[in-house]
Structure 1
Amino acid sequence: MTIEFRSVIDAMMSTPNRPAGATPPPIRLSQNEMPWQPAEVITAAMTQAISQTHRYPDYHRLAAREAVAASMGLTADRIAIDNGSGSLLHGLARLVCEPGVNGVYCWPSFEAYPAALGLAGASKTPVDIAENGAMDMDAMRAALTDETRIVYLCNPNNPTGGIVGAAEIRRFLQDIPSNILVVLDEAYREFVTDEPVEATLALLDEFENLVILRTLSKSHGLAGIRAGYSASSPRIAEALRRTSVGFALNSIAEAAVIAAFSPEGMAVAEERIATIVAERARIEAALADAGVSFLPSQSNFIFLHGDAADLLAGFAAQGVLARPFPNAGGARITVGLPAENDAVLSALV
């Protein structure tokens, strides 16, 4: 007899994007990473932390939480930090979901939402996004039922880059029952230019059922470190910390978080984000001039309409690796360094 997995596990099984041993194109613009190595202040802090890795890290992650809280104008009791924001969105599902309840999310969006709901035993309700690549908030409202316990809001949405403003998020929160946990996933918030980056933080004081998720993978270029954080009411933050895997934030990652939110670390991040935003505008202007169909983005990537296989083949010919989304009708390309973006444009215009 063989071990039988839960049915949800079989649905999650995936295959590699490329054949084993295949060499990817050299310009890697498929995973929304920042194109620079971490800031020197961060690498110095991580290097120093290596010498202390014979000791366990701080179980409560207090110093890292305090650094995050200070950057957001909050107190540390409202912050939870984990091994990437993906771990937190799974943890939030475990807090409120079980068989018989329901979770709602927009689609196409981040694949971790249905995975988290399925593993928590909840049923899943995907809602089509709007034509501009942002969440359709009216459709999200209509999808809620008496069984709904959690809603994931991806803003800006990945992979399409559209955004819903803070005022519309507030109206959504005002309209729905307060026993529904609303997870506002802001992995790409730092790249937003349509409104102030901090515009959504005021909502935390208005709505006890709101959790904001952010990550250091994008804005600080720390995708390989795996550090994400949440801001919420103290009650929700405490529940997340209590149910997190012990020592999930390793000591090197903790040192990186603290350094990232230092004045020097923030200055480097802001300069690099400004470069990506400027390059995003340059790419979009060139695409518009050439009549290439795309979705205007508020993130560090751009979604292009067309046959995904054809788009990827054109990019590969220029040495560029992009991410296909055939079910969404196109492909996503990360905004990189100017020379990398020139290669992208060469494939399209």
Structure 2
Amino acid sequence: MTEALQTVNRYPDYHRTAARTAIANVVGVAPEWVAVDNGSGSLLHGLARLVIEPGTTAIYGWPSFEAYPASVALAGGSPSPVDLNAEGAMDLAALRDAMGDSTRLVVLCNPNNPTGGFIGIDDLRAFLSSVPDNVLVVLDEAYREFVTAEDVSESIALVHEFENVAIVRTMSKSYGLAGVRAGYVIAQERIALALRRSSVGFALNSVADAAIIAAFSPEGLQIAEERIQRIVAERERFLAALTAAGVSHLPTESNFVFIHGDAAELTKRFEAQGVMSRPFPHAGGVRITIGAPAENDAALAVFN
């Protein structure tokens, strides 16, 4: 990234070929199956624009990432949220029941943000088998690297099996590049190509391009894996402490924990400990992101 700064007087790679190839080599698909943009949010908006128009609908679990209803509304469609299941994951049966003739897009956040609920590969495969071919299913896997229930690569098989599936991942979480703004999509060539053709030219700057290439190098992957292991270990310690203290919370496969309670009150209690939490009043609690051990101890001190 530092080296890339020396040549910012030049335009970046318009086709993002090197970045797409770096991702493809690690994920195990052809570069033609990869689209890259400045953050997964941009890619979510791009995917919505491919299939949504006035008179069509998109369904997704709720509460979840705020970009889903925003992207659908901007594309001229109607957002249609569906309640999560009791463990804070996508309710696949309810989502299937909510689908109708006007449905063109289904978004599955897995693990779900802000609740951390996770759906395994077998249940996803069964759900996808029931979705009509004219409906695009987007798997938002922003937090996939933190999942321990199954290997991070498991879901890539779904892209090979289903032509109407697109996996969205981000460089913001496990790779620690939130400020750089970079994300990618894995989908069969028809979808990936349409996404690349409809994206804004040169939207991915040369520093972000270099960051992706470095992150998917052997050295970059090792750094990310070490970071993931530390975060997962801290997550398990945090969950165990909450359980021991009798604090109600949801199970999580992500790098955050959803704690039940009055959102405003919990937010104030965390602020008193110098901890920033994310309130979700409509979901009945707050989300705490797992940080360094000292930061996690400060959050846990709220319940001592």
Distance in 2 (CA, whole Å) between partners of 1:109 and 1:348 is: 26
Match of 1:74 among 14, 24, 29: 29
Shift of 1:276: 0.3
Give the Cα–Cα distance (whole angstroms) in 2 for the partners of residues 242 and 348 of structure 1: 51
The one-letter code sitting in structure 2 at the alignment partner of 1:227 is A
Residues paired across the two proteins, number: 304
Query: Which residue of structure 1 lines up, in the alignment, with residue 197 of structure 2?
Result: 242
> Who is 1:165 aligned against?
120
Give, in whole Å, the separation in 1 of the partners of 2:288 and 2:242: 13
Residue in 2 aligned with 1:342? 297
Residue in 1 that maps onto 2:273: 318
CA distance in 2, matches of 1:309, 1:205: 45
Code of the residue aligned with 1:329 in structure 2: it is G
- Aligned-pair identity (%): 63
Q: 5+ residue gaps in structure 2?
A: none
1:274 corresponds to? 229
- Larger relative contact order, structure 1 or 2 (CA cutoff 8 Å, min sep 6): 1
Match for residue 121 of structure 1 among 76, 99, 102: 76
Please name the residue that 2:262 is paired with: 307
Q: Distance in 2 between matches of 1:330 and 1:206?
A: 38
Q: 1:245 deviation in Å? A: 0.5
Partner of 1:321, secondary structure, is coil
Distance in 1 (CA, whole Å) between partners of 2:212 and 2:303 is: 38
**Aligned counterparts of 1:256 and 1:93: Cα–Cα separation in 2:** 26
CA distance in 2, matches of 1:249, 1:201: 24
Instruction: Determine if the alignment matches structure 1 residue 98 to structure 2 residue 53.
Output: yes
Following superposition of structure 1 onto structure 2, how do residues 93-242 of structure 1 map, counting pairs within 5 Å? 93-242=48-197
Whole-Å separation in 1 of the counterparts to 2:8 and 2:239 = 45
CA distance in 1, matches of 2:26, 2:108: 23
| CA shift digits 1:77-102 (9 cap, x unpaired) | 00000010110010011001100111
Counterpart secondary structure, 2:58: strand
Computed over aligned residues only, the root mean square deviation of the Cα atoms, in angstroms, reads: 0.5
Q: Structure 1: where are the runs of 5+ without partners?
A: 1-45
Q: Deviations over 1:22-79 (max 9, x none)?
A: xxxxxxxxxxxxxxxxxxxxxxxx1100011001001000000000101101110000
Query: CA offset at residue 213 of structure 1?
Result: 0.4
The structural deviation recorded for 1:189 is 0.1
Give the alignment's TM-score, normalised by structure 1. 0.87
Structure 1 residue 343: Cα displacement: 0.3
* Counterpart AA for 1:319: G
**How far 1:117 moved relative to its partner?**
0.3
Measured in 2, the distance between the counterparts of 1:219 and 1:281 equals 17
Give 1:87's aligned residue.
Answer: 42
